[in-house]
Amino acid sequence: MSDDVQKREIEAQDVAQACRGDQRAFERLYRAHAGRVFGVCLRLTNQRETAQDCTQETFVAAWRALARFEQRSQFASWLYRIAVNTALARRRRAGLQLVSAESHGTELERVAADTDAAGPIDLEQAIGRLPQGARDVLVLVGLYGYSHDEAASQLGIAAGTSKAQLHRARALLAAQLGMTAESV
């Protein structure tokens, strides 16, 4: 039996036990997924403390919703959906606003100018500097492998908008990183 299969079986057992109220099993699930949950929350909120809060909220919400979890679906996907929703809801509560699409052109110039002034930056920083709409899609689709339909559904936008935002994110990242068109 491969490691992956064995891991999945162990996780399925933990999920089943957690569904029956076993907190130790749920702790194991936390240990297995906390990093990825924190990662997606951090990239969506851009704030470490908020991401920590979101991570906690995600696991608490997951525990409370376990009774409704259908074990045929993948626990990890279900959990990450909760994490994304939690981070987005937290951000909405904090009153953070999406950058309007109209500002795209000037924004690109500003980002490029900032990059010239500040010198090279790493990719993670560049993602953090993206406007929210573009960053959301880049994080979900470009980093965490969501389809445009899934990302659009979670973000409450059209799939076409998701594609446009990804294109925009890539252009902005390239500008920040001083990349040529060929390397994008």
* Site residues for another protein per CB under 8 A: 23, 26-27, 30-31, 34-36, 38-39, 42, 48, 51-52, 55-56, 59-60, 63-64, 123-124, 142-144, 170, 173-174, 177, 179, 183-184
- Given a contact cutoff of 8 angstroms between Cβ atoms, the answer to whether 180 and 130 are in contact is no
Report how far apart, in Å, the C-alpha atoms of 10 and of each of 5, 25, 47, 73, 165 are.
9, 10, 33, 15, 38
- CB closer to another protein, 141 vs 157: 141
Shortest Cβ distance from residue 158 to another protein (Å)?
23
Say if residues 178 and 123 touch (Cβ distance below 8 Å): no
Of the pair 28, 91, the CB lying nearest another protein is at 28
Least distance from another protein to the Cβ atom of residue 97, Å: 25
Give the shortest CB-3-to-another protein separation in angstroms. 17
Judged by beta carbon, residue 50 or residue 161, the one nearer another protein is 50
- Minimal CA–CA distance to 83: which of 33, 123, 152? 33
Calpha distance 101→157 (Å, rounded): 13
Minimum CB separation of residue 161 from another protein in Å reads: 20
Residue (31 or 100) nearer to another protein, CB: 31
Torsion angle defined by CA atoms of residues 40, 46, 47 and 48, in that order, rounded to the nearest 10 degrees: 40
